[in-house]
Amino acid sequence: MTPTLAKTGTHVERIERAVWQTLAPTFADHNYRQVWEYGEYIAGRNGAVSEHVAISRDGDVIGLADVRLKSIPIVGGGVAYVGGGPLTRRDDSDNVQAFSDSVTALVDEYVESRGFTLRLMCPLGSEAWNAAATEALATLGFEPAKWPKAYRTIAVNTRRSLDDIRDAFSKNWRKNLRRGEQRGVTLRIGQDPSMFGPVRDLYQELLDRKGFDVELDADFYAQANERMATDERFTVILAECEGEVCGMNVVSALGDTLVGIIGATTYEGAKRYAAYLLEWGAMELAHSRGMARYDMGGIDPEDNPGGFDFKRGTRGDDLTGAGPMERKPSGLRAAVADHAERAYRAMRRASKGRRNGAAAKNGAATGGES
């Protein structure tokens, strides 16, 4: 790897898992996409490899990145993708100097030295941070990437009192939350992997009922969870109606942001407004841990207007993370990488279409990943 960068005095180096495990929790933007085992698992599924690197400046580590490499044989180069990274925030300020220096070092290593297209989907921060990070990337020569989709979400400020959080909800949201509390819905929260049994069942039931496809399903998250260190595992929130599981919300509690990953309710759970209690339980969890926000897991006003209306009823902040943005190498490698990626995605779309066609015959939907 490149030993030094004269511009910023930074350098990039591969690190071992034990070092990563020590350093990652020191960053406020630590998140499940940058968990060692999660990165290796999803990289392996996509025919890529993970490189875990630290970025240092004058002897101090200022950033970490799990870089997922999809290489092109013979020609060299390919795509170096960082999802949920690099990790650079030490607090919730909008100072992006460490971020800018870390990205510069990653460009020197992966773009200039090794000929990869470097693509970043940065971790979520405050509105000011997201804007500043986006501007920094543009200044460093990054342009918007076609894949994946930009990440837009509703994030609830959980450093307020619980009363203030609840009082901010829309009138309808508060009313439905009370209905759930009055109709016998109870919550069970834990990190035991056995709790993923009901998660898998409820999520598959949701897919069957709605008839849609997903990139990563409950089974993927369950298997990723089994590989993670105990203190980095997902937290499962189960709603129970009359002793039966009637809803679930899987979240990740790392760094300063609690992230919603997947959720679903049964027909009985929907009748009892369990979804409102599941989201409220996540907010209470984030608040109890002093976390800055609860990221409700993304919104898509066009393709899922119902989910958008439900989440914006919390009166949380409508945020869009920095990225995806990319910096390409000079010469033919960028064109070859673009062509290879288009071919790969066309093949995946065709494969997904065949799966969905077969599933439709059986009255079910299947999940996949990009």
Task: Give residue limits of the domains in the chain.
Answer: 10-148+322-361, 154-297
> Mean pLDDT over residues 175-183, rounded?
97
Q: What is the pLDDT of residue 184?
A: 93
* pLDDT tens profile 236-267: 999 999 999 999 999 999 999 999 999 999 99
Other C-beta atoms within 10 Å of 34: how many? 25
**Predicted pLDDT of residue 202:** 94
Q: What is the pLDDT of residue 75?
A: 67
Q: How far apart are CA 96 and CA 205, in angstroms?
A: 43
pLDDT at residue 207 tops 90: no
* Strands laid side by side in the 49-57 sheet: 10-14, 49-57, 60-71, 78-83, 116-121, 325-327, 143-144
Helix axes 97-106, 127-139, angle to 10 degrees: 40
- Is the pLDDT at 354 greater than 50? The verdict is no
pLDDT computed for residue 330 by the predictor: 87
Superfamily (CATH H level) for 10-148+322-361: Gcn5-related N-acetyltransferase (GNAT) (3.40.630.30)
Which ranges in the chain belong to alpha helices (H)?
Answer: 17-23, 36-45, 97-106, 127-139, 162-168, 171-182, 196-210, 218-227, 267-271, 274-288, 305-312, 332-361
CB neighbour class for 325 (10 Å; exposed up to 12, middle 13-18, buried from 19): buried
Q: What pTM was estimated for this model as a whole?
A: 0.89
Given CATH 1.10.20.10, say whether it is the number of domain 154-297. Answer: no
Q: Per residue in 27-73, pLDDT tens?
A: 999 999 999 999 999 999 999 999 999 999 998 999 999 999 999 87
**pLDDT computed for residue 337 by the predictor:** 54
Q: Quickly count: other Cβ atoms within 10 Å of residue 324's Cβ.
A: 22
Query: Strand pairing of 116-121 and 78-83?
Result: parallel
Arithmetic mean of pLDDT, 162-188: 97
Q: Residue 357 pLDDT more than 80? A: no
Tokens of 186: 């109870």
In this chain, the answer to whether the domains covering 10-148+322-361 and 154-297 adopt an identical fold is yes
Surface-to-core class of residue 245, CB atoms within 10 Å of its CB (0-12 exposed, 13-18 middle, 19+ buried): buried
What average pLDDT does the segment 130-153 reach?
97
**pLDDT over 90, % of the chain:** 80
Query: How far is residue 247's CA from residue 259's CA, in Å, rounded to a whole number?
Result: 17
The SS3 assignment for 252 reads strand
